[in-house]
Amino acid sequence: MPVYMLTSERVGRRSIFSPFHPFTFSPLNALFTLSPFPLFTFKRMMNEQDNNNTSRPLGQQEDGEWSDIGIDLFNLQRRNASVTTVGSVTMGGNNPVRVQSMTTTDTNDTEASAAQAERIIQAGGELVRLTTQGKREAENLRNINAALRQKGYDTPLVADVHFNANVADVAALYAEKVRINPGNYVDPGRTFKQLEYTDEEYAEEIKKIDARFVPFLNICRENNTAVRIGVNHGSLSDRIMSRYGDTPAGIVESCMEFLRICKREQFSNVVISIKASNTVVMVQSVRLLVQQMRLEDMNYPLHLGVTEAGEGEDGRIKSAVGIGTLLSDGIGDTIRVSLSEDPEAEIPVARALVDYIEARSGHLPIPAQVAKGFNYTAPERRPTTPVANIGGENLPVVISNRTDKDKVHVVANADQTPDYIYIGRHLPANLSAKRRYIMDYDAYMQLASTNPQAYEQVYPIFPHNAVPFISLVEADVKFLVLQYGANSDEYLACLKHHPEVVVVCMSTHKNKVGDQRALVHELWSAGINNPVVFAQMYRHAAEEKETFQLKAAADMGPLMIDGLTDGIWLMNDGDLPDEEVDATAFGILQAARLRTTKTEYISCPGCGRTLYDLRTTIARIREATKHMKGLKIGIMGCIVNGPGEMADADFGYVGAGPGKVSLYRKKECVERNIDEKDAVEHLLRLIETSLTLNPSPRGEGSD
């Protein structure tokens, strides 16, 4: 290790420094040279934990007490779910996480449906879902099943039922699993009406569910048919909405009403899904459901998905943020990545996501404790003291690498300009007044006194083993690279005395998410309020962009959903352009509802219910609106989830009938039954008119 010899004079913009032996160290190199967990530290922390017996399970109640919900934030452990059998496939327990998709064909078209199901199966799909909007479609499942069996496939088929409980009864005869939606199984479809119930009247509504649901369970029991209780945020009933509001609690209760009947009737062949296009709502709802099931002695397996995720890289990033967060918690027994693309395209994405998370299994233990201020089921942003524009109430920042002096200021999209640029050891020829720069601290020390005014926008970054030198450097903002367990006594003392330091949290641990969570919870428990930026290095070539995006979103998603993030720093050791890396960072922040930098499209993947040419329409709308930063536009194939999911959007485009479209502004339908050929133009005119009257309809977290 290099030896430092420094005088006692402060080093800074207006001070003198005298390094007799300059230290040369790049924080980026630290990402690969730091030990994942120093042995002495590991042993010390394990002994402390054993002696004090202070480890706490997750699940915070209103009174501040903790209840066991079987989730370990730091060590990847699969949630203990019961086993459900769906035809030839078992899920839950120790079974692999199953991946699946859904056809977009007319279920009455046996040949087309069987052919698309075959493509899903060949891509690796382990279950295939088909819409069954009527008895005719439900009955035709028999023919589709027969066509697949004739080709040697035993992949289970899942019937998707909405609005008609009688159809579910029929589908149970011909499908290996039937999905019902609590929002419209007995209750009428969502209209956003506020209903008033006495407790007695509300109890009577529950009895209606019981009277209709039990006979269906009996049919399923007789035919060895599994049941999926599939709650969608976009189709909660007015009854649930009126009592619980548009909240995770309402979503969970909508599910629990049916699960309690399953438990009472001793029907255990059940899978649950809770989905939303909003990743925060989706994650919080599933976590709350896990807690509630634990309280009521249930452990049914869970199906995960971010509904109406969209297409292309946006749909993939959004899905990885939501699904990746729950998989990182050990939650999830089967998943679907809902993309507005060919259904077989969903399978490799889902498979890659599952494989990436599961590769963390068997990692070295991470001895850590949950901070008392953290609420797992409804996390809020960790309180921090702002350092410049980082932390506090500021939007999370994006830091980018630009060590090539000729590319320092290359930005493809002005709305996605990094907040800070890491430049290594050399300043660019011309400093931009609109940029902030991060420089290796030893290079900063050598240059800081030569021209103090030139370095007002330049800030030093320190590796963890340079903590003693932080006090010798004057700067309004300092960055310190830390990894959990690395000499914690030293860095905790330093941070308490240096509120101007921003922690750059990185990890080389096999379970990076757990390791990075552990560091922030340690800071939180110690009363350290310094902001935290999460950094991670990847190694991908340009042709591996999708893989890079999935990994980064899955790694950063949990840290963002947990409210731990004040910034993000993605690095890639490969030929992936810097602008693509930056765009991914901004995309992840937007997917986590933390910062909006572009138009967001909430678009369904399509199914047999879709009432217009979905993909052509999406392409037209995207092209016409891509410049409208901050807007959320819903593009929905039918009415099932349309108005509900679009309640989170500024504008909505919903199939209303064959060749007909209705347009929405928030929850309000403003134009009904427009001819499909004219509907896109009507939508654009609606947006233009609305923006003229209200120039800034913004989504949450917009900047």
| pLDDT the model gives residue 427 | 82
> Six-digit token pair at 699?
């989504």
Q: Which residues contact 596 (CB under 8 A, 6 or more apart)?
A: 590, 629, 630, 698, 699, 701, 702, 703
Angle in degrees, CA 525, 475, 404, rounded to 5: 100
Q: Is the pLDDT of residue 236 over 50?
A: yes
Q: Looking at residues 510-519, what average pLDDT do you find? A: 97
Tens of pLDDT, residue by residue over 157-191, are 999 999 899 999 999 999 999 999 999 999 886 77
Decide if 524 contacts 382 (C-beta within 8 A).
yes
- Contact status, residue 224 vs residue 90, Cβ threshold 8 Å: no
For residue 6, is pLDDT > 60? no
pLDDT of residue 64: 40
User: What is the band of 239 on the pLDDT scale with cuts at 50, 70, 90?
Assistant: very high
**Tens of pLDDT along 114-151?**
999 999 999 999 999 999 989 999 999 999 999 999 99
pLDDT reading at 387 higher than 80: yes
Q: Which of 411-415, 429-433, 440-444, 583-587 holds the top average pLDDT? A: 583-587
The pLDDT tens digits of the residues spanning 344-378 come to 999 999 999 999 999 999 999 999 999 999 999 99
Q: What is the pLDDT of residue 559?
A: 98
Does the pLDDT at position 60 exceed 50?
no
The encoded tokens of residue 501 equal: 């330091």
pLDDT band at 39 (very low <50, low <70, confident <90, very high): very low
Q: How confident is the model at residue 602 (pLDDT cuts 50, 70, 90)?
A: confident
Span 451-480, average pLDDT: 89
What 3-state DSSP class applies to 187? coil
Residues 6 or more apart whose CB falls under 8 angstroms from that of 398 comprise: 416, 418, 419, 420, 567, 568, 569, 582, 585, 586, 589
pLDDT grade for 696, boundaries at 50, 70 and 90: low
Mean pLDDT score across all residues of the chain: 86
Q: Please list, residue by residue across 212-248, b when 16 or more beta carbons sit within 10 angstroms of its beta carbon and e when fewer do.
A: ebeebbebbeeeebbbbbbbbbbbbbbbbbbbbebbb
Mean pLDDT of the 445-451 span: 77
- pLDDT for 526 equals 95
pLDDT at 618: 86
Pick from 382, 370, 357: nearest CA to 69: 370
pLDDT of residue 703: 40
587 and 317 in contact (C-beta within 8 Å)? yes
Q: Quick one: pLDDT at residue 27?
A: 47
Question: For residue 486, what pLDDT is reported?
Answer: 75
Residue 432: the pLDDT is: 79
- Give the residue ranges of DSSP H helices in 575-675: 578-591, 614-625, 642-645
Confidence check: pLDDT of 68 > 80: no
* pLDDT (0 to 100) of residue 405: 66
Are the C-beta atoms of residues 176 and 226 closer than 8 Å to each other?
A: yes
Q: pLDDT band for position 654 (50/70/90)?
A: confident
Torsion of CA 348, 125, 276, 563, to 10 degrees: -50
pLDDT at 452: 66
End-to-end CA distance of the chain: 44
Q: Coil, strand, or helix at residue 370?
A: coil
- Residue 229 near residue 217 (C-beta atoms within 8 A): no
Q: Is the pLDDT of residue 43 over 70?
A: no
Backbone dihedral angles phi then psi of residue 513, each to the nearest 5 degrees: -60, -50
Tell me how far apart the alpha carbons of residues 88 and 86 are, in angstroms, rounded to a whole number: 6
Q: What CA–CA distance (Å, rounded) separates 219 from 217?
A: 5
Residue 306 pairs in a beta bridge with: 276
Residue with the bigger pLDDT between 70 and 424: it is 424
Q: What is the pLDDT of residue 340?
A: 87
Q: What's the pLDDT band for 61 if we cut at 50, 70, 90?
A: very low
pLDDT average, residue stretch 249-266: 97
Helix (H) or strand (E) holding 473: strand 473-474
- Under the banding of pLDDT at 50, 70 and 90, the label for residue 52 is very low
Residue 147 has a pLDDT of 98
pLDDT for 698:
46
Residue 606: the pLDDT is 74
pLDDT for residue 46 is more than 70 = no
Q: Is the pLDDT of residue 26 over 70?
A: no
Give the pLDDT of residue 41: 38
